[in-house]
Chain A
Amino acid sequence: MSKKIGDVILDLQNISLRFGGVKALTDISFNVREHEIRAIIGPNGAGKSSMLNVINGVYHPQEGKVFFRGAERKKMEPHMAAHQNIARTFQNIALFKGMTVLDNIMTGRITKMKANFIEHALWFGRAKKEELEHRKVVEEVIDFLEIQHIRKTPVNRLPYGLQKRVELARALAAEPTMLLLDEPMAGMNVEEKQDMCRFILDVNDQFGTTIVLIEHDMGVVMDISDRVVVLDYGKKIGDGEPDEVKNNEDVIKAYLGAGH
């Protein structure tokens, strides 16, 4: 593999997460290296989305430590993830449905805007210059994801596959160092999946973005990931490069059932 994978950027140590009596995650440790594509897989209810929400600061694990860029993360507000350059997409598309594609992607720049409220209200000072700069980044993202033709369309009029792409665009507009994708290809047809794969690989390749993704399509996961972590019933049952994981006894059992 030609690309350069760097040091550990995110390190999760002995993470346990409970909701009341329900154990969502039990003693899970794994890490993510800079510039890699890291997949989290597992059967339904394995705790994949919970894991992503822990990384994103939406859930606070009862036990365990999260290190991001070497620093231990204290309890944080959900909106702070974006300020640490972590962007994400959702399993069920979470776009601003009333807004156009362009406006949606512009919201991805919100953490980067510096001009204050009064400057914005009166449209003077930094506000105008800033808006133009942000617009430029957004246009680049639009070009990159090949959605020029729909930029003025309200997102609720778009087909599902394109909405997913707009959601990715909004995440990319924040120029994230780490991108969390929750089932980016769910519900897509083969062609749309191929497009999405290409975009994910391009993002990783051209911008060096670290990507953590949850996906059900095994073919896709094994093709594009550098390393895969496998969860089942909230426990880690496998971790390693795709080939390793594919031949792991526990993983096969979890996917095909015992006694195969």
Chain B
Amino acid sequence: MNFFFEVLIGGLLSGVMYALVALGFVLIYKASGVFNFAQGAMVYLAALSVVGCLEKGAPLWLAIILAFAIMTLFGIATEKFVLRKLVNQPPITLFMATIGLAFFIEGLAPMVFGSEPRALELGIVDEPIPYILDNWNMVISKFDLVAAGVASLLVAALALFFQYTRIGRALRAVADDHQAALSIGIPLQNIWAIVWGVAGFVALVAGMMWGARNGVQFALTFTALKALPVLILGGFTSVPGAIVGGLIIGASEKLAEIYIPPVMQDLFGGNFGGIEGWFPYVLALLFLLVRPEGLFGEKHIDRV
């Protein structure tokens, strides 16, 4: 039973890491109704900025601040040079623009900071917590726990921000209808710049966590793919949904990896490994059949 809980908790904690990436998607989707294809690239850019600044000799805190500045500037520039030209265009146009943006970042970031994979040291070790190991005989990584804590804080802050602040209300208004938002005096441009700035900040946190765990390398852009099933489960419009979706995906893929292969082997023989690679996507597909708007997504009923 201890082993089951160890797998479950390990899964939940890695799920938080997925949720971190998914959050960035949710933010931009909420405020502009656009699926931001460039979110993975932004995670990469953020992680590279931190590593790049560290290599130039900056201490960690300064590197983080500089990277945050870069992400904010990037957000403002995106609004000014890409989104501003596309006000009132259909979502598919904006989506295509984010694909272009992704390619742009994936080319530019390595040009500035170098493309070779590098390690990122945050000073948190990825090793079991002795206390839990001694008392319950479970291997729970300290790093995972810290990452989970950071992500929880971030989610709580963002949920409050969206629900209770004037800017939050303006964000929801902008997401719903650009024209109407303008008519009641919401400056669309500023709101988009804020959202992309915040999404950049989330990408920074995700990039640091993922970079510290797997190394800062081009493959970081693919973390975005892991966020897809999370979004489908949690709903594209819900901040809490991203976190719950992340937890479900994380836990279920680890449990599936451990418990499904033996059963399959008994039934069919042969070797069944790597289930965690595809299991989330199958889960997402099933979810699409049953509840396409996700667990917490807004249900849109259109009049015919």
Interface residues of A (CB under 8 A from B): 56, 58, 77-83, 87-88, 90, 94-99, 103, 106-108, 110-111, 113, 115, 117, 120-121, 123, 156-157, 170-171, 174
Interface centre among B161, B181, B183 (most CB of A within 10 A): B183
Q: Which of B47-55, B166-174, B283-291 contacts A (4 or more CB under 8 A)?
A: B166-174
Contact partners of B303 in chain A: CB under 8 A: 156
Contact status A115-B166, CB under 8 Å: yes
A123 to B232 Cα, complex, angstroms: 32
Q: Nearest-CB distance from B34 to chain A (Å)? A: 16
Q: Which of A56, A107, A123, A157 contacts B173 (CB 8 A)?
A: A107
User: Contact at B180–A95, with CB atoms within 8 Å?
Assistant: yes
Inter-subunit contact B300/A79 (CB<8 Å): no
Q: CA A77 – CA B182 in complex, angstroms? A: 9
Give Cα distance in the complex from A83 to B186, angstroms.
9
**A98-B172, A99-B172 given as contacts; is B166 within 8 A of A113 (CB)?**
yes
> Which 10 pairs of residues, A with B, have the shortest CB-CB distance?
A82-B185, A94-B180, A96-B176, A120-B165, A111-B185, A78-B182, A79-B187, A94-B177, A107-B173, A98-B298
Within residues 180 to 196 of chain B, which ones have a CB less than 8 A from any CB in chain A? 180-189
Complex Cα–Cα for A90 and B187 (A)? 18
- Kindly state the separation between the CA atoms of A108 and B169 in the bound complex, as whole angstroms: 11
The SS class assigned to the B binding surface is helix
Chain B residues, CB < 8 A from A88: 183
Write out the residue numbers on chain B whose beta carbons fall within 8 Å of the beta carbon of A83: 185
Query: Given A117-B165, A117-B166, A117-B167, do A79 and B177 touch, yes or no (CB 8 Å)?
Result: no
**Please, how many angstroms separate the alpha-carbon atoms of A227 and B302 in the complex?**
39
A96 to B175, CA, bound (A): 8
With beta carbons under 8 angstroms apart, the residue of B164, B177, B187, B189 that contacts A121 is B164
Q: A90-B183, A95-B180, A121-B164 are in contact. Are A110 and B300 (CB under 8 A)?
A: no
A94-B183 Cα distance, complex, nearest whole Å: 10
Q: Is B58 an interface residue (CB 8 A)?
A: no
- In whole angstroms, what is the CA distance A97 to B185 when docked? 18
Q: List 24 A-B contacts (CB under 8 A).
A: A58-B182, A78-B182, A79-B182, A79-B186, A79-B187, A80-B185, A82-B183, A87-B183, A90-B179, A90-B180, A94-B180, A94-B183, A98-B237, A99-B172, A99-B173, A107-B169, A107-B184, A108-B184, A110-B169, A110-B186, A113-B166, A115-B166, A120-B167, A156-B303
Residues of B288-304 whose CB lies within 8 A of A:
298, 300-303
Measured between alpha carbons, how far is A120 from B161 in the docked complex, in Å?
Answer: 8
Q: Tell whether, in the assembled complex, residue A121 and residue B165 are in contact, meaning their CB atoms are under 8 Å apart.
A: yes
Cα A103 to Cα B172 with chains together (Å): 10
User: Which single residue of chain B is at the shortest CB-CB distance from A123?
Assistant: B164
Nearest chain-A residue to B176 (Cβ)? A96
Return chain A residues, CB-CB under 8 Å to B298.
98
Chain A contacts for B172, CB-based, 8 A: 96, 98-99
Q: How far is the CA of A116 from the CA of B165 in the complex (A)?
A: 9
A contact residues around B108 at 8 Å (CB): none
B83 to chain A, nearest CB (A): 15
The answer to whether B160 has its CB under 8 Å from any CB of chain A is yes
B183 in contact with A110 (CB, 8 Å) = no
A110 B161 Cβ-Cβ under 8 A: no
Write the chain B residue with the least CB distance to A173: B184
